[in-house]
Amino acid sequence: MELSRFETTIDEIALDVFSTFEGARDDWEALFADAPASAYQSFGFARDWFETFGRARRLEPMIVVARHAAGARPLALLGLGVSRLGPLRIAQFLGGKESNFNLGLFATDARLDAAAIRALLRRAARAAGVDLYRLGNQPQAFDGVGNPLALPGAAPSPSFAYGTTVPATLSALDARFSSDARKKLRKKQARLEKMGALVFEHRAEGARGREILEVLLAQKATRLQDASFDNGAMRDFVLGLCGGALETHALTLDGRIIATYAGFTHRGRFSAMLNSFATDDEIARSSPGDLLLHSLLRDLVARGVGRFDLGVGEARYKNAVCDETIALVDSVIPATPLGALATPIIAALTRAKRALKQNPRLFASLTRLRRRVR
């Protein structure tokens, strides 16, 4: 069902706002094939996330498509979901914390400036009955192209993302790491090899891919003491993507999976979404996750993949392999008087969350507390 269709234009742009995924599918897939975007902006990722997480959170799809004129090819698409906070109706990107980069899809010739973007957002908000937009974790640019939704006045997101360019050769990859770092990895691998046969698996498919994801979920549940990885939306979402674009990688010891990585490859970029490792002391002390990560990078070199992302959130292992800290921004954009009243409060909450996450001691204490009360 289509929420509304505008026949008039502002600056020669017409607008559709859809309340179903299928209504926007053709436009979505056409733009995704051309626009600067990550795998997290694919139709399949957004739809599967909505069917698992979004419905459980009572979100309503709000898919905005801008065109040169009614019926013309799409210039831009925003995959959003609408939630309620008291009387407020808030539009946000689909994907939640499972998406490491949030972007709209913009045709290369869209040429929409900040004023045009704000005008389109206001029109879409009127159609969907939205009070404000909360557009978080946006890169200011992606693949060298500026992000039109990173509007002036956007605030820094609570966390950074991490990425790197993948070298063209294995020798160039090895040269990125000090001789001491490489020596430590060799010692850790040798220690595990004394315990049994060590095998790296890359891009497992079918039943094997699902088996690796099952172990990934179990390992995450154990290490994080988080039952959501054992059942519910997270499990359904991850296993649902197994038959699609989600790649699986694993390290096994005598056949036992002791570390995993799962992510997406899109247009020469691998985006890591999830990873895990066995928590047994004897195995964990040899850093199986680090060993698999370095093997994954070597696999990317062999495949000619040019970019690698390790997603949002600070961690030691990310700094060890990524030489780029990617600043993200949050835009809070009011669309009604009620939204204008709520905007400074929501912006203040974002600033407070950032202050917490950028204080390692305080954030670690809070994380431990949350695990105790689960």
The torsion angles phi and psi of 93, rounded to 5 degrees, stand at -65, 145
Pairwise CA distance, residues 72 & 232, whole Å: 41
- Co-location of 8 and 147 in the same domain: yes
Q: Check whether residue 175 and residue 310 sit in a common domain.
A: yes
- pTM assigned to the model: 0.88
| Residue 49 and residue 84 in one domain | yes
* CA separation for the pair 20, 246 (Å, rounded): 24
Residue 133: Cβ within 10 Å count: 27
Query: What distance in Å separates the CA atoms of residue 1 and residue 17, rounded to the nearest whole number?
Result: 10
**What kind and span of H or E run contains 134?**
strand 132-139
Final residue in a domain of this structure, among 306, 325, 344: 325
- Report d(CA 13, CA 10) in Å as an integer: 5
Tell me how far apart the alpha carbons of residues 285 and 45 are, in angstroms, rounded to a whole number: 35
Q: Return all residues near 164 (Cβ < 8 A) that are at least 6 apart.
A: 307, 308, 321, 322, 323, 324
Which CATH number fits the domain that encloses residue 301? 3.40.630.30
Residues 77 and 91 in one domain: yes
Both 85 and 204 in a single domain? Answer: no
Q: Do 332 and 320 fall within a single domain? A: no
Domain of 181 in residue numbering reads as 163-325
**Tens-digit pLDDT profile for the chain (374 aa)?**
344 443 334 557 889 999 999 999 999 999 999 899 999 999 999 999 999 999 999 999 999 999 987 668 899 999 999 999 999 999 999 999 899 999 999 998 888 889 999 999 999 999 999 999 999 999 999 999 999 999 998 999 888 899 999 999 999 999 999 999 999 999 999 999 999 999 999 999 999 999 999 999 999 999 988 888 888 889 999 998 865 679 999 999 999 999 999 999 999 999 999 999 999 999 999 999 999 999 999 999 999 999 999 989 888 889 889 999 999 999 999 999 999 999 998 888 877 776 766 666 655 554 554 555 44
Say whether 80 sits in a helix, a strand or coil.
strand
**Residue 84: which CATH number?**
3.40.630
pLDDT at 128: 96
Residues 212 and 301 in one domain: yes
**Residue 182 to residues 13, 169, 188: CA-CA distances in angstroms?**
55, 16, 10
Pairing of strands 141-142, 145-146: antiparallel
Residues 258 and 332 in one domain: no
Is residue 104 classed exposed, middle or buried when 0-12, 13-18 and 19+ CB atoms within 10 A define those classes?
buried
Same domain, 117 and 181: no
Note whether 218 and 358 are same-domain residues. Answer: no
Q: How many domains does the chain contain in total?
A: 2
Do residues 38 and 64 both lie within one domain?
A: yes
Please name the residues in contact with 373: beta carbons below 8 A apart, sequence gap of 6 or more: none
* DSSP 8-state class, residue 53: I
Q: Are residues 122 and 14 both part of a single domain?
A: yes
